[in-house]
A and B are shown apart, each in its own frame.
Chain A
Amino acid sequence: MLSIDLQFARGDFLLTARGQFATGVTGICGASGCGKSTLLALLAGLLRPQVGRLRFGHTALVDTSAKLFTPAWRRHFALVFQDGLLFPHLSVRDNLLYGFRRLRPADRLMSLETVLRLLEIGPLQQRRPAQLSGGERQRVALGRALLYSPRLLLLDEPLSSLDERLKQQILPFLKRIKEVTNIPMIYVTHARAEVDYLADRVLFMEAGQLLA
């Protein structure tokens, strides 16, 4: 599905990642500072690798030798950050629909109602992000990404800002997303237990290297 061979350097930090990602959920585990978030930013198209290739299905998205770089807004992947990063000036509903509204109706795989039900966030629609708890915020961030009907869902430590009790509350939602939507996911975390629960396979990352 996704195949990568990337090199990215910044200062004296060097990231190298090579591998194939099948459908389903791929967990990537590693200590903080090992380059997990940088890898996700490269996959999302927020960072440009100095050297490398990235293919999704039969489409080349990055090929530095051919000067090809597809920016984030044309990849149709979605990225969920650890602190959710909801747009503070928009209601929960407008946050949810931010990516959805940018899709042609034919490309919308899920309706707002489905996502509201799936993540149990229906009653929150009219609230502002500042009025949400950490767990609610993260569910809305997930919902916003899902409504964009991404071809690939990238999750950057989506639970690490939550306490243990909340983590246990959100994990089943992630499992539900996996089972209901079939959207391939790459789930990055430092917590092994999360990927053991959720992922179909686990890769490890150490000092900027993805060990496939």
Chain B
Amino acid sequence: MAPLSTEESQALWLSAKVALWATALCLPTGLATSWLLARRSFHGKVLLDALVQLPMVLPPVVPGFLLLLLFGTHGPIGGWLEAHFGIVIAFTWKGAALASAVMAFPLMVQPVRLAFRMIDARLESVATTLGATPWRAFVTVTLPLALPGIITGTMLCFSRSLGEFGATMAFVGNIPGETRTLPLAIYNFMHAPDGESAAWRLAGLSMALALAALLTSHAVSRRAERRLGYSETWGTRAQH
């Protein structure tokens, strides 16, 4: 494979930056949302659940359009951010990271929430009767037990962010060096005369990256499972 051109490697590094930021946004918010959905009952839970899943089933251009309305320079949030902090989201890489985060969020929440639900809540009760505050119980019991699910969610979220296309295109456009991530660059090359070999290279690179991320996630979460003492008999452990 020929070495990457400047334009191609620019797209690659931009993608990495955007995906890392998107994952960093999704991790804390995703953990909190998953915990709420797995452990709490409250009014509007069904609605929150549906909202979280929504980006998976909507045409990606719709969240992109909504983000533009909210975070555009004239949008309520975008205007406020620019007026008070001088931060511009629309048509910048920050916007690309935000769009990726919104689209990848369900992939973070799903496995983490499942992991939280698998943990016997009475283990947290035991921890509090041994002097741990609920927060300490969460950090010392719930989080480590959910680690394999958290790793899976993080890797899925990262991979999905690398591949984000529709929402990014609608929200921040296709600006070389700013918002033209790998998928957008591929799209561009596909439509450029003589762009086919570059599109091929980037497509191959995307597949290799996605595959590597999924395999790494699998290996790391398996290792975490073993370290936590989850054996094959984990599922047969008495739950009640």
Contacts and interface: CB of A to CB of B under 8 A. Distances in A.
Interface of A: 41, 44-46, 71-73, 75-79, 81, 83, 85, 87-89, 98-99, 102-103, 128-130, 144-145, 148, 154
Contact of A102 (B122, B130, B134, B233): B130
B229 A72 contact: no
B144 interface: yes
9 contacts: A46-B128, A71-B128, A73-B133, A73-B134, A81-B122, A87-B123, A87-B141, A89-B141, A102-B131
Interface string B89-131: 0000000000000000000000000000000101101111111
B228 A88 contact: yes
Given A85-B123, A87-B123, A129-B229, A72 B128 contact: yes
B128 A76 contact: no
Q: Is the interface of B mostly helix, strand, loop or mixed?
A: helix
Nearest to A129: B229
Contacts of B141: 87, 89
B13 interface: no
A78 B129 contact: yes
A88 B118 CA distance: 13
A72 B122 CA distance: 13
A186 to B, nearest CB: 13
Contacts of B128: 45-46, 71-73
B131 A89 contact: no
Given A88-B228, A88-B229, A129-B229, A98 B145 contact: no
B2 interface: no
Given A88-B230, A99-B131, A79 B126 contact: yes
B57 interface: no
A89 B231 contact: no
A75 B120 CA distance: 23
Contact of A85 (B126, B131, B132, B231): B126
B1 interface: no
Given A73-B133, A85-B120, A46 B229 contact: no
B125 A102 contact: no
Contacts of B140: 98
B238 interface: yes
A103 B131 contact: yes
B145 A73 contact: no
Nearest to A88: B229
Contacts of B237: 88, 130
B129 A46 contact: yes
